[in-house]
C-alpha cells in the first residue's frame, strides 16, 4: 500500500475536498501541508454540506487523525470559528483527533490588515488575494520574526517577540499612513485566543513518523493548486506557498520517499478565481453556462469564478512540475447537454505555436488557445459510477484528455456526492 498526496492540477477549486474525503475512507491520517484558511473545500456527505477552509477534510470522518502541518499558516481566530461551526453540524473535533504542528506560524490580525490594505491600494494590478493575511504571515516566517504556535506555551516570552514583530509592522504602517499597533492590545488578544488553539498543539512530525512505522496510510491534502504555486504558477498571480507535491514532505515533516502516489485533481473544464492570465477563458454565454451549471462561486470568498474550456497545455505542465502520477477528473456532468465541447491542445504566441505556458506574465496574457472540437452528448453523466454508465462521446472526451496531458485518469467524479465516483486505479495501491 502507498501513501497518497492530493494536489490541484489547475488554478484550484477542482473538487479536492470531495476526492480527499472519498479517499479518506481508505486512509488512517489526513494531513494539510501548506496554505491557510484561504483554501475552500466543500464536502457533501449524506446530503449535508460541510465547508472547510483550514481543517483537513479528514475531520468529517470518525476515527481518523487529522494533522495541520508546519507548512500551514494558522489563524487562531479563524480556526476557533471553523471548529465551532463544524461542531454545530455534529462533527467531533478534539485534540485526540486533530493535531496542529507546534512549529506552525500564526496569522495575526495585523497580517489580515496588511493584506487588505495592500490589495485595496493596488488598484492597477491586483493580485486577487483572499485578504486573509496568508502572504504577510509567510513573509514574517521567511523574515524570522513570526510568532509560532509553540510561542503560546510561554506567555512571558511573548512581549519581546511581539516587540520584534511590531518593529517591522509599525514601520510599514507608518509608511502607509495607518495607525500603529499597540503591543499590549495585541498581547491581550493573543492571550485571550490561546485556550481555543493551544490544546491542539503537538509534534506533528513525530506523530506522522509513529503512524508511518505502524504501517498506517497517510493522505496528504494540498490547498490551492500547482498553477498558484509561488515558483511554478502564473506569478505574480499566485499564492504565497509551494503547492506542488514536493511540499508535502517539507510542510508535514516527512521524507520525500514517504509521499508515495501523487494524485492531481482537475475539472473537466477550467476555472480561475481572481486576477491573472487565463488563455481559455470564455466571457460569452458558454462561459456563463459553465458557471451556472457548475455553481462556480468560491467556497471561501463567494467570488464568481471565471470559466473556460479544458486546457491540456496547462495540465500537461502541472503533471510534470507537480509530480502527478494520475488525475482525478471532476465535474464531468457539467458538460452534459453542450452541442459541442472544445479542448485546448496548444497555444499561439506572436504567430508561432507553442506547447507550454511561458514564464513571463505578459507572454502568458498573449497566448491564444488552439482547440480541438468534440461533439457533445445529450445523456446525463451525473451520478455515473462505472464506465458503462457514461455516453460514448463522454468516454471519447475523457480518453483524449488522458492522451493530451500525459497522465492516466485514475478517478472520475460525476457529482458532488461522495459515492458518485468511478475508480479506475486505486491511488493507495502501488502501480
Residue 389: active-site member: no
Could you give the count of Cα atoms lying within 13 Å of 155 in the half-sphere of its Cβ? 12
DSSP structure class, residue 179 = P
Pairs from 213-218 (Cβ < 8 Å, separation ≥ 24): 215/1, 216/28, 216/29, 217/1, 217/2, 217/3, 217/4, 217/26, 217/27, 217/28, 217/29, 217/428, 218/3, 218/4, 218/27, 218/28, 218/29, 218/30, 218/31, 218/254, 218/258, 218/260
Q: How far apart are CA 30 and CA 59, in angstroms?
A: 8
Cα–Cα distances (Å) from 36 to 32, 199, 239, 351, 377, in that order, read: 9, 19, 10, 41, 39
Residue 41: active-site member: yes
Q: How far apart are CA 214 and CA 429, in angstroms?
A: 17
Active-site choice (41, 111, 169, 232): 41
* CA dihedral over 425, 60, 301, 132, signed as positive or negative: negative
Q: How far apart are CA 59 and CA 355, in angstroms?
A: 40
Q: How many residues does the chain have?
A: 431
Q: How far apart are CA 305 and CA 298, in angstroms?
A: 7
Asked whether the beta carbons of 414 and 382 are under 8 A apart, the reply is yes
Active-site choice (13, 75, 151, 420): 13
Cα–Cα distances (Å) from 45 to 18, 55, 355, in that order, read: 9, 16, 40
Q: Enter the C-alpha cell of residue 161.
A: 517577540
DSSP structure class, residue 417 = B
Cα–Cα distances (Å) from 59 to 17, 96, 97, 98, in that order, read: 11, 11, 8, 8
* CA dihedral over 241, 246, 249, 252, signed as positive or negative: positive
Helix, strand, or coil (residue 384): coil
First-residue to last-residue Cα distance in the chain: 10
Closest C-alpha among 374, 392, 390 to residue 382: 390
For the annotated catalytic residues, the residue numbers are: 13, 41
Amino acid at each position: 500500500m502507498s501513501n497518497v498526496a492530493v494536489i490541484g492540477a489547475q488554478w484550484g477549486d477542482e473538487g479536492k475536498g470531495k476526492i480527499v474525503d472519498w479517499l479518506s475512507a481508505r486512509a488512517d491520517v489526513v494531513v494539510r501541508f501548506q496554505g491557510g484558511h484561504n483554501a475552500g473545500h466543500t464536502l457533501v456527505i449524506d446530503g449535508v454540506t460541510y465547508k472547510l477552509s483550514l481543517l483537513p477534510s479528514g475531520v468529517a470522518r470518525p476515527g481518523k487523525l487529522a494533522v495541520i502541518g508546519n507548512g500551514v499558516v494558522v489563524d487562531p481566530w479563524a480556526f476557533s470559528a471553523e471548529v465551532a461551526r463544524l461542531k454545530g453540524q455534529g462533527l467531533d473535533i478534539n485534540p485526540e483527533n486533530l493535531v496542529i504542528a507546534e512549529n506552525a506560524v500564526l496569522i495575526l490580525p495585523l497580517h489580515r490588515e496588511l493584506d487588505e490594505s495592500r490589495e485595496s491600494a493596488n488598484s492597477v494590478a491586483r493580485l486577487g488575494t483572499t485578504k486573509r493575511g496568508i502572504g504577510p504571515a509567510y513573509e514574517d516566517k521567511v523574515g524570522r520574526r513570526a510568532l509560532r504556535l509553540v510561542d503560546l506555551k510561554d506567555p512571558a516570552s511573548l512581549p519581546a517577540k511581539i516587540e520584534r514583530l511590531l518593529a517591522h509592522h509599525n514601520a510599514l504602517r507608518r509608511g502607509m499612513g495607518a495607525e500603529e499597533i499597540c503591543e499590549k492590545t495585541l498581547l491581550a488578544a493573543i492571550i485571550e485566543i490561546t485556550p481555543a488553539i493551544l490544546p491542539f498543539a503537538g509534534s506533528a512530525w513525530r506523530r506522522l513518523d509513529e503512524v508511518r512505522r505502524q504501517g498506517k496510510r497517510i493522505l496528504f491534502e494540498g490547498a490551492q493548486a500547482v498553477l498558484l504555486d509561488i515558483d511554478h504558477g502564473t506569478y505574480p498571480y499566485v499564492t504565497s506557498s509551494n503547492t506542488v507535491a514536493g511540499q508535502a514532505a517539507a510542510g508535514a515533516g516527512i521524507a520525500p520517499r514517504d509521499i508515495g502516489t501523487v494524485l492531481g485533481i482537475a475539472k473537466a473544464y477550467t476555472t480561475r478565481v481572481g486576477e491573472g492570465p487565463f488563455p481559455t477563458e470564455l466571457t460569452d454565454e458558454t462561459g456563463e453556462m459553465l458557471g451556472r451549471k457548475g455553481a462556480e462561486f468560491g467556497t471561501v470568498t463567494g467570488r464568481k469564478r471565471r470559466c473556460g474550456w479544458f486546457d491540456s497545455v496547462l495540465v500537461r505542465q502541472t503533471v510534470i512540475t507537480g509530480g502527478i502520477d494520475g488525475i482525478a477528473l471532476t465535474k464531468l456532468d457539467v458538460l452534459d447537454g453542450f452541442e459541442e465541447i472544445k479542448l485546448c491542445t496548444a497555444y499561439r504566441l506572436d504567430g508561432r505555436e507553442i506547447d507550454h505556458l511561458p514564464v513571463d506574465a505578459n507572454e502568458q496574457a498573449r497566448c491564444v488557445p488552439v482547440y480541438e472540437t468534440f461533439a457533445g452528448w445529450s445523456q446525463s453523466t451525473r451520478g455515473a459510477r462505472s464506465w458503462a454508465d457514461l455516453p460514448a462521446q463522454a468516454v471519447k472526451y475523457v480518453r483524449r484528455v488522458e492522451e493530451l496531458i500525459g497522465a492516466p485518469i485514475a478517478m472520475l467524479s460525476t457529482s458532488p456526492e461522495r459515492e458518485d465516483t468511478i475508480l479506475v486505479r486505486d491511488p493507495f495501491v502501488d502501480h
